[in-house]
């Protein structure tokens, strides 16, 4: 997988592959700054970072004996260190199974935040991407938060640098600032609200009911979806997820011809034409819930393939088919695999307590400011009680 993504980024000009999620449109219309040079610089920087991460050596395949030995060592150290694993659905089956077997959680980004905050362990091992580790640290500054690899980032986070984002917000002081959880601590500190895909619609509806106008960042596809569904007055930042942006409506429509009884399940980070074909749109937890509840024998799924482990557990008799991305046949660019989520593996997890370079630190002042919109999100989610329970 990493090789395929690597080939794509190596062979595709920056102007074609990453322009999509670099800040340009809304920000450029509204603030006066040397826009082209900033956009171009960001593009180069983001591309360098993606390339750097993809160049990281993929761990060797484990034999069964090696895997069991690593799991045994990790289990021992979790007990010794009073630690618990908080994993995302996009991590590998090995990581998800281990998290569950050791009393941790496997869930979406909202439930990961709640679980980490409420669990009594003094150390959280966040198996996901960096914003998830930072969220855990902000919510529980007294806990030690470790990650298998701190370089595991997210294109949405990379595409929303705080300096430019703050200027954008300053230019629109009449708007509530709503940011997706997939952002840095600094961006969250600038926000009134943090949302995840589980509660994005509810928060936007709530603000629209109160007559509030919104700045939405960074995911423009999620923002567009929320705008269409709620009619909220939204001014959009121009970011995107490199994984979900690859799903193709045409390919899904073709696949529907082959599997006429299949339902289409789509994560709202996907482009509008893909969302239009969906029978259900929702967060990762909501996708799993839909697969369990709906009667269809097959599902075409537009989100990261890591979720298939849980989907198959939730509905063992049903068939799950990955939604097509760019490319021919089985080949594609991202192949519905987040390269940063893939940095979570047993090899990195086993040394998580020994290495000096994988603890999440958040500046305490920044953390306090970012905690307000995060607390607000969790309180709002608790009041709704919708989809905040991890799917098992």
The residues binding ligand 13P (CB under 6 A) are 108-110, 182, 196-198, 241, 269, 283-284
- Pick from 184, 188, 218, 222: which is nearest to 204 by CA? 222
- Among ligand 13P, ligand SF4, none, partner that 155 touches (CB below 5 to 8 angstroms by kind): ligand SF4
Question: Contact 273/266 with Cβ under 8 angstroms?
Answer: no
Helix, strand, or coil here: 155?
Answer: helix
Using a 10 angstrom Cβ sphere, with 0-12 exposed, 13-18 middle and 19 or more buried, the burial of residue 216 is buried
Quote the least distance from Cβ 173 to ligand SF4, whole Å: 28
Which partner in ligand 13P, ligand SF4, none is near 340 (CB below 5 to 8 A by kind)? ligand SF4
Q: Footprint of ligand SF4 on residues 40-99 (CB under 6 A)? A: none
Among 38, 112, 200, 243, contact with ligand SF4 (rule: CB under 6 A): 243
Which one of 182, 284, 344, 358 is in contact with ligand SF4 (CB under 6 A)? 182
Backbone phi, then psi, for 176, in 5-degree steps? -70, 135
Q: Which does 284 bind (CB under 5 to 8 A by kind): ligand SF4, ligand 13P, none?
A: ligand 13P
Q: How far apart are CA 63 and CA 235, in angstroms?
A: 51
Q: Does 110 bind ligand SF4 (CB under 6 A)?
A: no
- Give 249's contacts (C-beta < 8 A, 6+ positions apart): 271, 273, 274, 276, 277
96 contacts which partner out of ligand SF4, ligand 13P, none, CB within 5 to 8 A by kind?
none
Which own/partner pairs from 165-170 qualify as long-range (CB within 8 Å, at least 24 positions apart)?
A: 165/23, 165/190, 165/217, 165/218, 165/237, 166/190, 167/27, 167/31, 167/33, 168/23, 168/26, 168/27, 168/30, 168/31, 168/215, 168/217, 168/237, 169/215
Alpha-carbon distance of 261 to 251, in angstroms, equals 16
- In this structure, are residues 381 and 198 in contact, taking their beta carbons and an 8 Å threshold? yes
Distances (CA, A) of 191 to 14, 195, 366: 30, 10, 12
For the CB of residue 121, give the shortest distance to ligand 13P in the complex, in Å: 21
Nearer to ligand SF4, 224 or 233 (CB): 224
CB nearer to ligand SF4: give 225 or 340: 340
The Cα-based distances of 341 to 30, 79, 129, 153 in angstroms read 34, 25, 6, 8
Nearer to ligand SF4 by Cβ, of 62 and 326: the residue is 326
Q: Does 241 help bind ligand SF4 (rule: CB under 6 A)?
A: yes
Does residue 237 touch ligand SF4 according to CB under 6 A? no
Return the range that interacts with ligand SF4 (CB under 6 A); candidates 76-84, 163-171, 184-192, 238-246. 238-246
Please identify, using beta-carbon distances, which residue of 91 and 182 lies nearer to ligand 13P.
182
Nearer of residues 155 and 198 to ligand SF4, judged by Cβ: 155
Distance between CA 52 and CA 391 in Å, rounded?
Answer: 34
Of 169, 160, 164, 170, residue with least CA distance to 131: 160
Q: From ligand SF4, ligand 13P, none, which one binds at residue 242 (CB under 5 to 8 Å depending on kind)?
A: ligand SF4
CA distance 175 to 344: 37
Minimum CB separation of residue 219 from ligand SF4 in Å reads 7
Output the six-digit token pair for 239. 């970011």
Residue 159 · residue 46 · CB < 8 Å:
yes
Q: Does the protein bind ligand SF4 through residue 129 (CB under 6 A)?
A: yes
Q: Which is nearer to ligand 13P, 164 or 269 (CB)?
A: 269
Residues 281-340 that bind ligand SF4 (CB under 6 A): 304, 338, 340
* 390's tokens: 């991890």
Token pair belonging to 312: 């198959």
Nearer to ligand SF4, 2 or 28 (CB): 2
**181 or 263: CB nearest ligand SF4:** 181
Name the segment binding ligand SF4 (CB under 6 A); options: 35-43, 111-119, 149-157, 289-297. 149-157
8 binds ligand SF4 (CB under 6 A): no
Could you list the residues that contact ligand SF4 (CB under 6 A)?
129, 154-156, 182, 241-244, 269, 304, 338, 340-341
């Amino acid at each position: 997988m990493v090789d395929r993504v690597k080939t794509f980024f190596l062979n595709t000009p920056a102007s074609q592959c990453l322009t999509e999620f670099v800040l340009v449109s809304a920000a450029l219309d509204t603030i006066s700054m040397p826009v082209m040079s900033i956009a171009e610089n960001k593009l180069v920087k983001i591309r360098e970072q993606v390339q750097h991460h993809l160049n990281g050596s993929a761990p060797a395949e484990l034999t069964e004996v090696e895997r069991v030995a690593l799991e045994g060592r990790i289990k021992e150290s979790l007990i010794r260190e009073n630690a618990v694993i908080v994993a995302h659905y996009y991590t590998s089956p090995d990581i998800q199974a281990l998290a569950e077997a050791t009393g941790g959680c496997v869930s979406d980004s909202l439930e990961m935040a709640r679980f980490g905050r409420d669990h009594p362990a003094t150390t959280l091992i966040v198996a996901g991407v960096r914003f998830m580790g930072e969220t855990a640290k902000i919510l529980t500054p007294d806990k030690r938060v470790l990650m298998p690899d701190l370089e595991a980032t997210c294109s949405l986070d990379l595409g929303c640098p705080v300096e430019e984002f703050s200027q954008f917000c300053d230019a629109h002081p009449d708007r509530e600032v709503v940011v997706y959880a997939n952002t840095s601590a600094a961006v969250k500190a600038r926000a009134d609200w943090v949302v995840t895909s589980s509660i994005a619609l509810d928060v936007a509806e709530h603000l629209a009911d109160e007559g509030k106008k919104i700045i939405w960042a960074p995911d423009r596809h999620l923002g567009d979806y929320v705008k269409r569904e709620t009619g909220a007055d939204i001014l959009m930042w121009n970011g995107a997820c490199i994984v979900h942006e690859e799903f193709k409506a045409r390919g899904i429509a073709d696949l529907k011809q082959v599997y006429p009884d299949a339902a289409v399940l789509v994560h709202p980070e996907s482009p509008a034409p893909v969302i239009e074909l969906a029978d259900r749109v929702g967060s990762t937890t909501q996708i799993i819930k839909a697969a369990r509840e709906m009667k269809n024998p097959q599902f075409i799924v537009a989100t990261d393939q890591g979720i298939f482990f849980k989907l198959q557990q939730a509905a063992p008799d049903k068939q799950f088919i990955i939604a097509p991305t760019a490319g021919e046949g089985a080949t594609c660019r991202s192949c519905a695999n987040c390269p940063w989520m893939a940095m979570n593996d047993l090899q990195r997890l086993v040394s998580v307590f020994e290495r000096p370079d994988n603890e999440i630190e958040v500046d305490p002042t920044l953390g306090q400011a970012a905690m307000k919109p995060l607390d607000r999100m969790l309180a709002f989610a608790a009041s709704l009680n919708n989809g905040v329970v991890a799917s098992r």
